[in-house]
Structure 1
């Protein structure tokens, strides 16, 4: 007779206690992340994998006291007898649309009904990354803030995890210049000078080849006492900037995540919701401390729903952590709330049907990435048509309008797509970056008069040259209309030109794209809105909006291939993208197969990313 049988037969209370303890352990389980068959998932309190489908800003909206009939907005009290009635109905509505998570800034009245996430706003409250992170009091300040905000919920099993912040200003050159100009008493500035002294081995002349300082600074001893530092165009100072930014980020994540784990060891740390861009050094630092890297994500030029896969690849590759999409969205000019969608910052399409299509395509795109663990829609209700109080934002982002009426076309389609996403994600076993044997470049169904404009707005219908390894600096697409080959780059890039001693050169400090298609070679250097193209008569289109950029080259097939070409002839294809600031390089090599006029095949497309040279 075994020990368990003995206990069961002779000592009933011991068995009951043992069972009760096992139940208590099960009841104390919390959300985790895990990888199954090379696919990342959240795991719930029963250890079941799930893909997080969330909604941000699930709140009752305006109160009776603040509501203005002349400036209408979403207000739950106009439609429900009580806040609890609103919470119950809203949770039921979201579950009916197959959402399974409440995203950031959702009201506590509804978080008891569904798994939820919480934004702590720890760094922004302290001024990160512009404050003195290396000051002795920073760690104590963060520990106290964390204790006040997380300790009471350490046993909340509905809480998936904590976002430390939202959209911190991780802009590398700007951060470097700002901290370099601080007083000598600043701990962060002292760390910056220590990095410079170590990198240049206290050789001030070598330092000045990459940076410019005030004329009275003649040595590192002078620099220790104060003085601004700016990048010198054409120098290699960006690598030192990256080292500094990495140490600042490591300090932030180390202090904040350490405090969270002290006061709440049970819940996941979900990152700080990047603004669709983040310097490599920051992502690498985050990967050492967080459980999940999170990012808000939009592509305002992608009216077909396109999003650049290179950005998500790079987040995952640099952090070695799963990625959560914390905001995705689309607005339409056709909406019932009267949202004007002003500012040009976000994707705006014409109709609700187009908005629905964008939402579906982006959901499917996210689920197809094996390292993405969820996607959260922004937001539950349309923004006030007259603009949000704190920033004036006035977009048609809602699942419901300001009068609580669902956009049925959107919610029905999203509900159907949600129901299929777990199966889609489970099959996403091939990471982005795996080579494919043959890729076909499809024709546009109706070639437009202005090919370049149409190309940049219809990337989903084109062939993405799959990278052979992760971490590409941009997406590269190829398309053809039978007479012309179109090649498009799409990605993120930030320089902060105002923090150089003089205007930086696109050739030296921007992105340089070299493209060889058969006999044709084109080189374009890009820095913000400044572009230099060789040869000057190349058909080239470029756009830049904030940190996002796109560029398209149109090459007549007659220029790339011999005049006597035949169907099935092949054209060599090579592309290189080089970041002049940090030396990173991505390359693509393929063969374009001249097929009948309805397509061009890309054979053996590969891509590699070369790390910056020491």
Structure 2
């Protein structure tokens, strides 16, 4: 290995080989490509139309989380992804991050102990500021103020306390698709009005530097050993260069959400965008949220360039193969788990059964994806 990020072999770290390829390195000192499932929430089985399924099959959230782990392991996923789900409904045909404000209410993440008891690699999210693109009421708090410093210290102290000794923790995500570009609500940090583009970019770099420095110093004050996976940037909307440059000294991995259609051209565009951001930052990339969908009985309005679950599975397999062929992509985190009335798609039906035409292909694709890890380092 020519370079490493992380500390002792007791925890996950990232490494780059002499040939230039990147990988996570697990606590057993083995290369690891993170294949995760996102939006794991029992809310999806507590609707009036399926709460009976939850009560009959599980009866408690603890028992349900064990079922999640069984599903992940069955499908050859190796990481518990972001455990929060969009639940408020009314998403509409599509989202325009630049258009009318949206307000996509999300559930709370898993309790710490459930993640610790799961017995497999997982991630933890630390919501530094409430500035998500999906948040219709973002709160851009002064990153220079004493209040933010105190809050960041408390937040880090609280969020890492149960996980700082865990060998299964891959690392800490920060904000989910933060609004570093103009927010649909029109809100932003104070003091950006009337600036020239050069002045705007310099101020944005300064604000982002202060934001990342404050939260990462707080995290590492209480947990110096685990990776910081950074904000889960909104790749479809774009990422300001000033923010990426500010992030570099403080974050170990470049994490990007990016949704694309099934065409070769769209995948090529995604890879090109990710490669550019990777080269700018010098960081390995985790595709932190990616997915596809088709119309279903419950959600006939969720249309895309695919029509069947088999097509979804084929797209998953080809997309993952494209991603892991890039030696600087070290993670693929899929959206989502159980189809609900809010997000409207998943790899399981609202009755908690696999869409087997899709999941049979996921199982095989994940096995192949994991096998590529051994070739990285």
Q: Does the TM-score normalized on the shorter chain lie above 0.5?
A: yes
8 Å CA contact 1:147–1:263 kept in 2: the answer is: yes
Query: Which residue is equivalent to 2:284?
Result: 322
Task: Give the Cα separation in 1 of the matches to 2:149 and 2:124.
Answer: 21
1:271 match: secondary structure: strand
Is residue 103 of structure 1 aligned with residue 75 of structure 2? no
1:94-493 map, 5 Å: 94-105=72-83, 107-108=110-111, 109=114, 111=116, 112-124=118-130, 130-171=140-181, 178-179=188-189, 182=190, 189=191, 228-229=193-194, 237-276=196-235, 277-300=238-261, 302=263, 306-308=267-269, 309-333=271-295, 335=296, 338-342=298-302, 347=304, 349-384=306-341, 387=342, 394-396=343-345, 398-424=346-372
Q: CA deviation at 1:49?
A: 0.7
Q: CA deviation at 1:415?
A: 1.2
Q: CA deviation at 1:76?
A: 3.1
TM-align CA RMSD:
3.1
Task: Give the Cα separation in 1 of the matches to 2:262 and 2:362.
Answer: 22
Task: Give the Cα separation in 2 of the matches to 1:304 and 1:350.
Answer: 19
Q: CA deviation at 1:318?
A: 1.5
Task: Give the Cα separation in 1 of the matches to 2:243 and 2:259.
Answer: 20
Q: CA deviation at 1:61?
A: 2.5
Q: CA deviation at 1:367?
A: 0.2
Task: Give the Cα separation in 2 of the matches to 1:174 and 1:57.
Answer: 23
Q: How many residues align?
A: 335
Q: Measured at CA, do residues 78 and 177 of structure 1 come closer, stay the same or move farther in structure 2, by a change above 3 Å?
A: closer
Q: Encode CA deviations 1:319-350: one digit per residue, 9 max, x unaligned.
A: 111111111100012x35x12345x7xx5521
Query: Which is bigger in relative contact order (C-alpha 8 A, separation at least 6)?
Result: 2
Task: Give the Cα separation in 2 of the matches to 1:414 and 1:314.
Answer: 28
Q: Measured at CA, do residues 252 and 353 of structure 1 come closer, stay the same or move farther in structure 2, by a change above 3 Å?
A: same
Q: Measured at CA, do residues 240 and 92 of structure 1 come closer, stay the same or move farther in structure 2, by a change above 3 Å?
A: same
Q: Encode CA deviations 1:392-451: one digit per residue, 9 max, x unaligned.
A: xx422x11111011011211111111111244466679xxxxxxxxxxxxxxxxxxxxxx
8 Å CA contact 1:56–1:377 kept in 2: the answer is: yes
Task: Give the Cα separation in 2 of the matches to 1:73 and 1:280.
Answer: 46
Q: Encode CA deviations 1:558-579: one digit per residue, 9 max, x unaligned.
A: xxxxxxxxxxxxxxxxxxxxxx
Task: Give the Cα separation in 2 of the matches to 1:46 and 1:323.
Answer: 22
Q: Which of the numbers 93, 108, 112 marks the counterpart of 2:71?
A: 93
Higher strand share: 1
8 Å CA contact 1:74–1:403 kept in 2: the answer is: no
Q: CA deviation at 1:130?
A: 2.6
Query: Which residue is equivalent to 1:461?
Result: none
Gaps of 5+ in 1: 1-24, 183-188, 193-227, 231-236, 388-393, 430-614
1:118 match: secondary structure: strand
Gaps of 5+ in 2: 1-6, 84-108
Q: Encode CA deviations 1:232-284: one digit per residue, 9 max, x unaligned.
A: xxxxx323322221111111111111110001112110011011121111111
Please report the TM-score for the alignment, with normalisation by the length of structure 2.
0.79
1:419 match: secondary structure: helix
Task: Give the Cα separation in 1 of the matches to 2:242 and 2:36.
Answer: 29
Q: Encode CA deviations 1:363-418: one digit per residue, 9 max, x unaligned.
A: 0111011111110111111122xx3xxxxxx422x111110110112111111111
Task: Give the Cα separation in 2 of the matches to 1:301 and 1:63.
Answer: 29
1:164 match: secondary structure: strand
Q: CA deviation at 1:303?
A: 8.5
Q: CA deviation at 1:307?
A: 4.8
